[in-house]
Amino acid sequence: MNEQEKGPATPSTPAIPATPATPATPATPATPATSKTVIVVVDGFGVSAMPDAGALRPGDLAADTCGHVLDRCREAFGRPLRLPTLGALGLGLVHPHPDLARRTHLPVAVGRAALGYPGADTFAGHQTMMGADFSKVTVARLAEHLDDVTRALTDAGHRVERLDGKPLLVADGAVLVHDNLEADPGINWNASGRLDHLDAGLDFDGILSVARTVRAVAPVARVIAVGGHADGPLPEFVRDGDGGTVGLDTPATGFYRNGGLQVQHLGAESDHTRQLPDLAARAGIPVTLVGKAADILACEAAVRRPAVATAEVLAHTLEAVRAEGDSLVVANVQESDLAGHQQDVERYGRILEQVDAGLAALLSLLTGPGDRLIVTGDHGNDPTIGHAFHTREYVPVLIHRTGAPGVELLPDASSLADVGATAAAALGLDPAGLANGTEIREAATRAA
């Protein structure tokens, strides 16, 4: 992915334009014709470390994805990032950075949310945000549960052995069961196999069969079935990870660059009927899941628009919002998270500018009296912190409320589930229908 050219220098602090990015709010009719709620999750966008962020890595107490990206991009580009829409939505009221405006005249409610689940993980973050209770999901290494996993696989008819005495398993001579090395230690386990391993008769269904059996006994948030075309035998790419984990170095295998990659995420058991998309669909509200949200959220009635490229994610989101009638749209911008994993600050900054422009376009469409735009994150991913893992950070909660009075400061939400409950209330749904979460009530404090 080629880097864009750096733009010319601009004044040091971007000001909120005198005219808001969205057209003037129309007068509120007696009965709203439609109610659209759009949740845009900027993947890996944190606004400061949570108090327990240093439990795994003490240095993570210094994590600040938003602030560090703003600082480093100012140095790299010779100008501040151009984020007028995020500024107008109140990001500067959540994160006191000099490059973010401290005032806005748009009708917004702003605050931040703790994650409400262990670690820092996209899957757990989105499930929690939609109303699942992931607070009791265990962070665990496979080594601590080898006997249980071996027994489950054997009982299911799989042949199981240890790989060279290491704490990972080989099922049916072909599928590695191992710690995931790309997320925080103990968050996820993988079942990985070569789709070109023809001598073993392996296909993705065989990998998935192993993964499902592991999922039945795994205490972790996610078991991921991964199949692809590798550059060599998978044991050649096994290495030690952080926190005593041992697993497959998946990027080194060539899975991501050789084509034909197949992945399926098997999450911890939860009642999807008590999550926001299903609750909305049962109430007759059309649901669209965009980007990574289409891959990891369950809702049989939802329209799915999977995409990775930010331009494509934004285009699908705008298309869904243009449709007539009530709707719930949940979109995930994944490339911010990818930039964090790559520790590429400049790419992260450019993705934020691209998102900002997309949010301006969304605001121009969300003009109905019941419309809501909620911008948030699922965890942090500070590209300056010195490692390629997610960071455990608070995330912003920026809510544009057409027709609402002024700017309201929200109290800290204890969980991302509160974001989902707030979205449910905006759609006229009872948040009690979710398994977890409480509507974030406006604080008594009104922003100056």
Can you tell me the distance from the alpha carbon of 169 to that of 146, in angstroms, rounded to the nearest whole number?
8
Can you tell me the distance from the alpha carbon of 233 to that of 13, in angstroms, rounded to the nearest whole number?
53
pLDDT(16) > 70: no
Mean pLDDT throughout 272-292? 97
Average per-residue pLDDT for the chain: 89
Residue 447: the pLDDT is: 47
pTM score of the predicted model:
0.81
What ranges make up the beta strands (E) of 218-305? 222-228, 238-240, 246-248, 262-267, 287-291, 303-305
Residue 243: the pLDDT is: 85
Q: Which residues contact 53 (CB under 8 A, 6 or more apart)?
A: 60, 61, 63, 391, 392, 393
- 8 Å CB contact between 397 and 376: yes
Going by pLDDT thresholds of 50, 70 and 90, the confidence category of residue 290 is very high
Phi, psi of 10 (to 5 degrees): -130, 170
Residue 197: the pLDDT is: 61
Residue 299: the pLDDT is: 96
Measured at the CA of 330, the angle between CA 366 and CA 25, to 5 degrees, comes to: 10
pLDDT(281) > 80: yes
Which of helix, strand or coil describes residue 116? coil
Stated length of the chain: 448
Residue 200: the pLDDT is: 58
Q: What are 336-358's pLDDT values in tens digits?
A: 999 999 999 999 999 999 999 99
Neighbours of 103 (CB within 10 A): 14
Residue 259: the pLDDT is: 85
- 8 Å CB contact between 14 and 87: yes
Where is average pLDDT lowest: 27-36, 270-279, 418-427?
27-36
CATH 1.20.1250.20 fits 36-136+270-433, yes or no: no
Q: Which residues contact 128 (CB under 8 A, 6 or more apart)?
A: 115, 116, 117, 134, 415, 416, 417, 420, 436
Can you tell me the distance from the alpha carbon of 184 to that of 182, in angstroms, rounded to the nearest whole number?
7
- Token digits of residue 80: 């501040």
Q: What are 55-73's pLDDT values in tens digits?
A: 888 999 999 999 999 999 9
pLDDT(125) > 50: yes
Residue 6: the pLDDT is: 30
pLDDT(403) > 70: yes
Residue 428: the pLDDT is: 94
Going by pLDDT thresholds of 50, 70 and 90, the confidence category of residue 201 is low
Mean pLDDT throughout 395-418? 93
pLDDT(446) > 60: no
Residue 20: the pLDDT is: 34
Residue 24: the pLDDT is: 33
Q: Which residue has the higher pLDDT, 79 or 19?
A: 79
Q: What are 152-170's pLDDT values in tens digits?
A: 999 999 999 999 999 999 9
Residue 443: the pLDDT is: 45
Residue 442: the pLDDT is: 53
Can you tell me the distance from the alpha carbon of 257 to that of 194, in angstroms, rounded to the nearest whole number?
14
Can you tell me the distance from the alpha carbon of 320 to that of 412, in angstroms, rounded to the nearest whole number?
30
Q: How many helices (H) and strands (E) does the chain have?
A: 13, 17
pLDDT(5) > 70: no
Can you tell me the distance from the alpha carbon of 348 to that of 291, in angstroms, rounded to the nearest whole number?
17
Residue limits of CATH 3.40.720.10 in the chain? 36-136+270-433
Q: What are 310-346's pLDDT values in tens digits?
A: 999 999 999 999 998 999 999 999 999 999 999 999 9
Residue 34: the pLDDT is: 63
- The whole-angstrom distance between residue 364's C-alpha and the CA centroid of its chain comes to 25
